[in-house]
Amino acid sequence: MSAMALLKKVGLFLFTIYALITFVIAMLLVFPFAMLAISAGKVKGGNLVYRCCRIWAQLWYYSIGVSHKEIYEHPHDTNKQYIFVANHISYMDIPPIVLAIHQPIRALGKYEMVKVPVFGWIYRAAVILVNRKDAETRAKSVRALKAAIKNHISIIIFPEGTFNETSQPLKSFFDGAFRIAIETQTPIKPLLLVDTLKRMHYRSLFELNPGENRVVYLKEVPVEGLTMKDLPILKNTVYQMMEEGLKRYISYPTP
């Protein structure tokens, strides 16, 4: 390893340690307000918790030199309800989602994250938890997502399920988001996270670095009148939109 490469590696390591410390400090600053918000009830309290999360993300971004940017390829109506779907490739996918969605929202999140100290407590209050290995909890999470929609709250799902660790724009999609969209007749709004892999690669926490973190809003996909027999077409339509969109912002190797 050259001296320059070693110096860069040490620099990234030290920066990550600093970022983790500021992550916790920012979380501790909003924690009391988030705990108070929870007492306001599942709907109103959950909405307030997300506002606390936005403040946390803004504080943390500022402290580590990450800038948030939203790109609207098509107009977006924050007064409408949506099922947001986004690509998933990094632990840095969460802060830009919190910052980019300016309306009441609930996310489907992995149960394992509740084990993280401090963050896990807020995470439990802010997301709908799912354990994909347990059929009963999967069914419970679907009911919770539908309940959020009934309460005029949008939801966000990563349809790939887990990190995309391939060299291609997307992994294959699960049916869940599209099934719920059809069953509740809620339009889909695709989002693209185009810089999160550059900000923190999935292979290591110690590759976190400052820079721009963009979120791209794509065109709304209506589902009015669709039935379950239309699910494969709907899923493929959204997949192609997101794949083509990612290729406009990121260069991928030819398969």
pLDDT tens per residue across span 114-147: 666 666 777 777 777 776 666 676 778 888 888 8
Residues 107 and 145: their CA atoms lie apart, in Å, by: 8
For residue 221, the cross-strand partners are 188
Q: Which CATH superfamily, name and number, covers 67-249?
A: Glycerol-3-phosphate (1)-acyltransferase (3.40.1130.10)
Structure confidence at residue 167 (pLDDT): 87
Q: Cα-flanking dihedrals φ and ψ of residue 108, to 5°?
A: -90, 120
Structure confidence at residue 211 (pLDDT): 94
DSSP 172: P
Sites in the chain below the pLDDT cut of 50? none
What per-residue string of b and e applies to 18-52 under the rule 16 or more CB within 10 Å gives b? ebeebbeebbeebbeebeebbeeeeeebbbbbbeb
Residue with tokens 């379950």: 228
Structure confidence at residue 118 (pLDDT): 66
Structure confidence at residue 135 (pLDDT): 65
What 3-state DSSP class applies to 110? strand
pLDDT in tens, 150-183: 888 999 999 998 888 888 999 999 999 999 999 9
Structure confidence at residue 12 (pLDDT): 84
Structure confidence at residue 31 (pLDDT): 83
Please list, in sequence order, all residues whose beta carbon lies within 8 angstroms of the beta carbon of residue 121, skipping any fewer than 6 positions away.
31, 34, 35, 114
Residues 25 and 242: their CA atoms lie apart, in Å, by: 35
pTM > 0.85: yes or no: yes
Residues 147 and 186: their CA atoms lie apart, in Å, by: 13
User: Rounded to the nearest 10 degrees, what angle do helices 3-38 and 42-64 cross at?
Assistant: 150
| CB 205 within 8 Å of CB 91 | yes
User: Rounded to the nearest 10 degrees, what angle do helices 119-126 and 3-38 cross at?
Assistant: 60
